[in-house]
Amino acid sequence: MTGNTSSEATAAVRLDAIKTRMAEAARNAGRAPEDVTLVAVSKTFDEAAIRPLIAAGQRVFGENRVQESAHKWPALRAQHADIELHLIGPLQTNKVDDALALFDVIHTLDRDRLALALVRAREKGKALPRLLVQVNTGEEPQKAGLAPGEVDAFLARCRDEWQLEIEGLMCIPPADEEPALHFALLEKLARRNGLRGLSMGMSGDFEKAIAFGATHVRVGSALFGSRD
């Protein structure tokens, strides 16, 4: 055995606890547990911290920075071809090519310029990842995402002008507000646009998000420990 044994045990226990809570939240909401994907948010944690979770069976991971991911993930993915990597942080248009090389899913499409950069990449022959649109449900000036009132028109442009297939919506509720209000709003915006995907819920509120229809919960600290 290697010196990793105890951190692997910790990771396996944490992962199991989160999955159990997710499944219970899904069943309580009359939903199938397999309809909710756990995105393990590994930002700031290094390969040594991530490996035990992979060993425990986790395959879907989220990162918020392109640069950090480019350093960490190619080696891990070379060993585990079935890993699915999600970008959950802002994407600058000058990093689109790097992001396309790394990520299977982007949760943070939030403006025309970025949509057009994706279209240009597609025209150059690149395969696009799965896409979710970020909504700034709390209309916080410091936060990325479309205002709720802009969402319908943006989704229409994605569909009709750019032929970009959008899988769902994503939000990060304001830290000091009841998240349920934001989850309900995001669900309503998705439903009236015929979208099924809902990326919402983090370590502190993922059960509530599942009750409101989350298909992807993004859990970091509850799995990896605090980021300080």
Ligand X SMILES: *Cc1c(COP(=O)(O)O)cnc(C)c1O
Strands (E), the chain: 37-41, 60-63, 84-87, 105-109, 130-135, 168-171, 197-199, 216-219
**41 vs 186, beta carbon nearer ligand X:** 41
Q: Is 220 in the site for ligand X (CB under 6 A)?
A: yes
Residue nearest to ligand X (CB): 220
Tell me how far, at minimum, the Cβ of 41 lies from ligand X, in Å.
4
Q: Which of 7, 10, 93, 203 binds ligand X (CB under 6 A)?
A: 203
In the window 151-170, what residues touch ligand X (CB under 6 A)?
Answer: none
Q: Is 43 in the site for ligand X (CB under 6 A)?
A: yes
Q: Is 219 in the site for ligand X (CB under 6 A)?
A: yes
Query: What is the total count of residues that contact ligand X (CB under 6 A)?
Result: 14
Q: Which of 18, 88, 100, 171 binds ligand X (CB under 6 A)?
A: 88
Q: Which residues fall within 8 angstroms of residue 117, CB to CB, at 6 or more apart?
A: 93, 96
Q: Which of 18, 38, 41, 50 binds ligand X (CB under 6 A)?
A: 41
Q: What distance, in Å, lies between the first and last C-alpha atoms of the chain?
A: 31
Residue closest to 118 by CA, chosen among 136, 135, 133: 133
Give the β-pairing of 168-171 and 60-63: unpaired
Q: Is 53 in the site for ligand X (CB under 6 A)?
A: no
Q: Is 93 in the site for ligand X (CB under 6 A)?
A: no
Q: Is 86 in the site for ligand X (CB under 6 A)?
A: no
Answer yes or no: are the C-beta atoms of 145 and 135 closer than 8 Å. Answer: yes
Q: Is 179 in the site for ligand X (CB under 6 A)?
A: no
Q: CA-to-CA distance for 200 and 173, rounded, in angstroms?
A: 9
Contacting residues toward ligand X, per CB under 6 A: 41, 43, 64, 88-89, 172, 202-204, 218-222
